[in-house]
Structure 1
C-alpha cells in the first residue's frame, strides 16, 4: 500500500505555512492529532488541534515519542526547544488538516462515493463495500469516521492502488458540510434519509436538508429517495439523478415485500419498465431501507438486476463494534473481526494499548485483503511495534511470509483451520488478546474458543457513548476544572478496570472508589491514576498505603488512626481528602469540629491534605435550591478557614453530576462525575445531550400458546382470560430484574415492540405476553436501552437509576464495545 510521501516544501505550500525546518529529509505519509494514538513516527505529522485541552501542550510528549513534524498555530510556542524538528505555523490547525486532506484528494481521479443522511451512513458504506469489492480496490472511511476530523483522516488513506473510494460525512449544525464537501469531492452522491437525528443545530427541516445536500454539489450521479426531498424548496443537485421509493413513483419503485423463513425479506420493484426482485437477509425496517439504498446504488451504477439480486442476498451484518469480553484463563478478549484494513487495524491496536489489566498483549491477525505487498506488511510491522504488541499470531499465507521476520514473538498458521487444529497447544493465559481478521477468515470460530462461556443475559456497555458523555462534561467545565470520576460499586454496575482504563486513557484526573479492595483491584489491573477511597477503616490502612491509595478522612478518630500507622512507618505528607458535612449528615466534619481537626493537622507531619470536599444533598431538585445554595456557601466558608490555617494549597470539590449541570459556581477546583457518565443526569429533560451507555439484553428460551383461562407463574397471578402467546426469557430477580416489575408493570422489547411481563418474576427467568408478535425462540429481548430507559424502570420501582444499575448481578455477562 504505497501512500504518497510529502516533502517539507510540499507541506509548506499546501498549508500556506510559515515553516521552521530543521530537517529537510523528513517525508510525511501519516497524520496524527491525538497524542495517545501515535504510529509511523518517522513519517508522521502531528496537528496540534485546539479543543478542551490545547494540542500544543502535548507536543513535548509527542516529540519524546519520536515524532519530528508538527503543525501549530500558537505564535508564542518555543520551537527552538525541539532540536531537529520541523514546525509549520498556520492560523488554524483544524483548517490546515482539512486543507492537506483536500490537496491529497485532488491527486486522484477515480470515482468517489460520498454518503450522508440522518441515519444509516456507516451501514450503507459497509454494505456497498461488500457489494462492490469483487471488482474494485476500495478505500473507505474506517468505522464511522465522518466528522470534521474523521473525514480528513479517512480521505488521507486514498492511494494509487485504489480504484474506488467510499466516504461518509456527518454534520450536526449549519456551516459544517462545506469543509467536508471540499475534502471528499464526491463524483457519486448517496443520501440515506432525513430524520430527527442531530436536528438541534438546524433552524428547520429545509435548513437541515440544504446543509446535507452541499456534499453533492457537482456530482455526476445523485442517488436518493424523493420521499425525503418532496417538501424541499431548494434545487436538488446532481448532473444525473437516480431515485428510489417505497410504493411511490421513481426509478426504482418497490411495490411489494414478503418475509420468508423469518429471516429473509423478498422485495419486488419496477425498474426501467420491468419487474425486478431482490432477496435481503434481514427483516427489520432499518436494514430493509439500507438494503434498498444499496439496491438502488447497484442499479444506478449499471449492474444488471439479476447480479444485484445475487449480491444482495449474500449481504452479511455489519458488526461495527469492537467488543471487549472476558476470556479463558483470565484473559481479556477484544473481538474486532468484521473488517480488516490498515486504518481499522490502527484503531483496534489503540484500543488494545489502552488496556492495562494484563501486562502481555497478543494480536491474532489474518491476511489483509486486497494486496500482498511487502510495503503493506512493513507498515503492519511498524504499527505493531508502536502499539506495544508482545506477541503476534499470524493467520494466512501472505502475512505469515512477512511475519517470520518481525522482531517479536510470532507464531504463523496457513489458515484459520490450521490455527484451530493447533489451538489446544497454544498457550493463552493472563493476557489481552485482540482478534483482527478479514471476514473470509471466519474469526468468530476463534472468538468462541477464547471467550468465557457464561450466562446468556448480557449488559452491553457502549464505550463510545461513555466517552461522548465524558467529553460533554469536559467541554462544559473548561480546562481549569479537574474531574474525579466515580467508579465505586463496580462503576455503577458497568465494570471496574474496563471503565477505569477508558477514563485513564481520556485523562480524567482522579478516580473514586467506596472501599480499599476496589482500589486494589484497579491497581492490580494497571491503573496509575490517583484513587480516593471514600469509606476507609483502620483495618485497611496498610493496604491503602501499600497500593498508594488516598483515603477520605471524615472524623478525628479515623485521622488519628491513620496518623498512628504513618508514624510507625516513618511516612510523612501522605495524601488524604477531608470530608466536610455541610448538610448531608452522613459522614464528614461538622463546623464545630474544625478547631480540633486543625490542631491535629497543624501538629502532624504524617498527612497532607490533597483536597477538601463535601456532598450536595439535592442539587438536582429545584425545590431544594435554597438549601443547595446554603451548602455551597457553607463549604466555601469552611474550606477557606482550613486554607488559612495550613501553609499549602489543596483542591476543593462539592459538585456531583447534577451539580455540574445546574450549579456552575459549585465546580471549584474539581468535580465528582458519577452517573452522568452513563447518560443519566436529572438536570436535563428529555432533550438530554447525553447518550445511553448501558443496554441489558436477554433471549427467548421458549414460546407457548396459552389456552383461555390458564394462568402463568407462581401464585397463578398471571392471567390470560382470552388466551394468547407467552415467551419465557432468561432473566430473573437473581440477575437484577426486580420482582416489582412483574404482572405487567415491567416491559421489554421483542422484535421492535414493547411487550409486558406476565405473572411474577422468577429467580432466573420471567414471562412476557407476546400475543400478536411474530417472535421465535432464541430471539433477542431488550430489557432496557435508550427506548426503555433505566430511568423508566426506576420510576416503576419507586427507586432511583443508581439502584437499578448497581443491582445488575455479577453473573450477567458484561460486553464492552467501541464503534
Structure 2
C-alpha cells in the first residue's frame, strides 16, 4: 500500500479527527486486530457476534498508528482516532479514494460461481506479459474488495479483482470502489437465490458491474449461459462472448482429455490455437477461454497467454485431484457448493480415467432459502443423467437430491447419512481399489474432514 496521511484519510471518508497528529503516516489498513502493527490503521467491524471496537486498546498497544471508530471514547490521545458514522462504509469510501490514485486498468469479475478460479486463470494469462495485482483468496465482499484495492502499488500494470454480491444494491457499491475498465460475468446460477428471488434478478444485479461502461470499455460474457447470451444484445458497451456455442467470439472445439489434462482448440476471430490446461471440466475450458480473450484485449496473443494457463496448477480445495494408494482418486472440491458447481464437480469426476467406480459424496448446499428443496431435487435430476455408480449424501437438505436420483430410475445407488463421520465410515467399508471419489459441499458442512480421513487411511501416492 502507498502511504497516506491521517488528514488525507479524514477528508476521503468525511470523518472527524478526534485525536492524534493529522500528519501521521498510515501505511497499512487492517480489520484483523492480530495484523495491526506500526503504521497501521485499524478498522473495527461490527459483526453479528463481535464488535471489534473492543480491540481498539489492544491494537494501539501493539503499535497501530490509528483507528476508525463509530462509537466510544478516545483510548490514547497521542494516536489517531477518526470518528465515522459507519466503519464499513468508511473502509469502502477510503478504498475508492485510494483506487483513484492509480491509472492501471482493473478487470472486474463477477458471477454466481467460479469467480475465484476464473480470476486465477485470467491472472495466469495476464502474468505472461504484465506485473499484476489480484484478489487474494476470495476477498470479494463489501469488506474484501476494499482490502484488495489497498494492495495496489506503484509498478503494477494491471489488477484483477473479484466482485461478489449477495444482496440487492451491493454491486453499485463495489463498482464505486473498483471502477473497473473490463468486466467478466462467469454465469448466472442459483447462488444467493434466497436473496435475489429468481435468476433474472441475479443477472440484473451482476450486470451492474458494467453500469458505467461506455463504448471504450468491454464486458466478457459466458455465451453458454442462456440468460447472459440473451442479455448480450442489451448491453450499452462492446461485448465479447466466450464458450462453446457458435455465437461465441472465443470458442472451444474438439474438447478432450489427454494424459489427465483438458485439451481443446481455441477458435477466435483471427485464427485457431491448440490449448492444454491442467484442470478438468467444461467450466475450466470456459475459464481458459475468457482468460485468453482478456489477455488478447490487453495485447497478449493466445500463443503466449496459453503458456501461463498450461502452468497454472489450480486452487486448494477446488477440484484438486488427490492420487492415493491402490489407484484411488479423490477430488477435493470442498471449498463451497452451489447447484451449478455440484454439476461441474460431477462433470470432472466423470472425466477421470480410473478403472473403478465413480462415487460422489455430496453435502448440503446452504443459503438457498425457500428454494432449497427444489434446487437440491433439480440438481439430483441433472446429475442422474451421468453414469455415476454411487451417491452418498450428507445432511438434511441433500435428502431431496437423493430422492431425485431414486425417482429418476437411473439405477445409481444412493446412501443418505446425517454426518461426515457416517460418510467416512461408509467410505472406509465400501471403497475399492481404483475408485474415484468426488467430495463436495458448502463451506459450513466441513467436507474437508472427509478428504482428510481418506488421505490418512489410504495415503498419498508417491
User: Structures share a fold, TM > 0.5?
Assistant: yes
Which residue is 1:687 aligned to? 372
**Pairing partner for 1:46 from 42, 52, 69:** 42
Tell me the secondary structure at the aligned position of residue 133 of structure 2.
strand
Change (3 A) 1:191 1:762: closer
**Equivalent-residue separation in structure 2 for 1:247 and 1:234 (angstroms):** 16
Q: Which of 57, 60, 85 pairs up with 1:60? A: 57
Q: Secondary structure at the match of 1:207?
A: helix
- Residue 297 (structure 1) aligned with residue 294 (structure 2): yes
2:199 is aligned with 1:205:
yes
**Cα distance in 1 for residues equivalent to 2:193 and 2:20:** 47
Query: Does 1:221 pair with 2:218?
Result: yes
Look at both structures and tell me which one has the larger radius of gyration over its CA atoms.
1
* Match status 1:187 vs 2:186: no
Q: Judging changes above 3 Å, is the alpha-carbon distance between structure 1 residues 28 and 813 closer, same or farther for their aligned structure 2 residues? A: farther
Unmatched tracts of structure 2, length 5 or more: 338-362, 374-386, 391-401, 415-424
**Retained in 1: the 8 A contact 2:242–2:251?**
yes
Q: Among 778, 781, 784, which residue is 2:437 paired with? A: 781
**Change in CA separation of 1:785 and 1:8 when aligned onto 2, cut-off 3 Å:** closer
| Aligned counterpart, 1:489 | none
* Map 1:525-604 → 2, pairs under 5 A: none
- Given that 2:2 and 2:153 are in contact with CA atoms closer than 8 Å, whether structure 1 keeps it comes out as yes
Q: Which of residues 306, 315, 328 is equivalent to 1:318?
A: 315
Deviation, structure 1 residue 29: 1.4
Give the whole-Å Cα distance in 2 for the aligned partners of 1:763 and 1:141.
36
Secondary structure of the residue aligned to 1:201 is helix
**Secondary structure of residue in 2 paired with 1:42:** coil
The 3 A distance-change label for structure 1 pair 145 and 250 is same
What are the Cα deviations for residues 292-332 of structure 1, in whole angstroms up to 9, with x where unaligned?
A: 222322333333343344444333223368x9xxxxxxxxx
What residue in structure 2 maps to residue 29 of structure 1?
A: 27
Q: Is the CA contact 1:28–1:43 (under 8 Å) kept in the aligned structure 2?
A: yes
Aligned partner of 1:153 in structure 2 is: 147
Higher RCO, 1 vs 2 (CA within 8 Å, ≥6 residues apart): 2
For 1:209 and 1:264, locate their aligned partners in 2 and report how far apart those are by CA, in whole Å: 32
Q: Is the 8 A contact 1:460 1:814 kept in 2?
A: no
1:460-493 CA distance string (max 9 Å, x none)? 896989xxxxxxxxxxxxxxxxxxxxxxxxxxxx
Counterpart in 1 of 2:86? 92
Assess, with a 3 A threshold, how the Cα gap between structure 1 residues 237 and 210 changes in structure 2: closer, same or farther. farther
| CA displacement 1:565-592 (0-9 Å, x = unmatched) | xxxxxxxxxxxxxxxxxxxxxxxxxxxx
Q: Secondary structure at the match of 1:172?
A: coil
**Cα distance change of structure 1 residues 137 and 459 upon mapping to structure 2, 3 Å threshold:** closer
Matched residue count: 381
SS of equivalent to 1:295: helix
Q: In structure 1, what is the Cα distance between the partners aligned to 2:265 and 2:142?
A: 39
- Give the equivalent residue in structure 2 for 1:78: 73
Aligned-pair CA distance for 1:105? 0.3
Q: In the TM superposition, what is the alpha-carbon distance from 1:276 to its structure 2 partner?
A: 4.1
Which of the numbers 159, 166, 172 marks the counterpart of 2:160?
166
2:388 and 2:131 mapped to 1: Cα distance? Answer: 50
Distance 1:116 1:814, change over 3 A: farther
Cα separation, 2, equivalents of 1:809 and 1:767: 10
- Quick one: structure 1 residues 754 and 13, their matched pair in 2 at CA, closer, same or farther if it must change by over 3 Å? farther
Distance 1:48 1:754 in 2: 54
Task: Give the 3 Å change call, closer, same or farther, for CA 779–303 of structure 1 in structure 2.
Answer: farther
CA contact (8 A) 1:45 1:67 kept: yes
Q: Which runs of 5+ in 1 are unaligned?
A: 324-443, 445-452, 466-677, 689-724, 729-744, 769-776, 791-803
| Deviation of 1:114 (Å) | 0.8
Distance, in Å, in 2 between the alignment partners of 1:186 and 1:120 is 19
| SS of structure 2 residue aligned to 1:186 | coil
- When residues 461 and 261 of structure 1 are mapped into structure 2, their CA distance, relative to the original with a 3 A threshold, is closer
Select the residue among 65, 69, 72 that pairs with 2:66: 69
Please give the alpha-carbon distance, in whole angstroms, between the structure 2 residues aligned to 1:285 and 1:779: 22
Q: Kindly report which structure 2 residues correspond to 1:671-682, keeping only aligned pairs within 5 A, or say none.
A: none
1:19 maps to 17
* Corresponding residue of 1:400: none
Q: Given the superposition, is the C-alpha separation of residues 97 and 780 from structure 1 closer, same or farther in structure 2, using an over 3 Å criterion?
A: same
The TM-score with structure 1 as length reference comes to 0.41
- Cα RMSD after superposing both structures: 4.4
8 Å CA contact 1:218, 1:237 repeated in 2: no
TM-score for the superposition, normalised by structure 2: 0.70
* Structure 1 Cα separation of the partners of residues 271 and 184 of structure 2: 24
SS where residue 268 of structure 1 aligns?
strand
Deviations 1:36-75 (A, max 9, x none): x323x2111111222222222222222233324111112x
Q: CA deviation at 1:96?
A: 0.5
Check the 8 A contact 1:455/1:811 in 2, yes or no: no
Distance 1:207 1:82, change over 3 A: same
- 3-state DSSP of counterpart to 1:209: helix
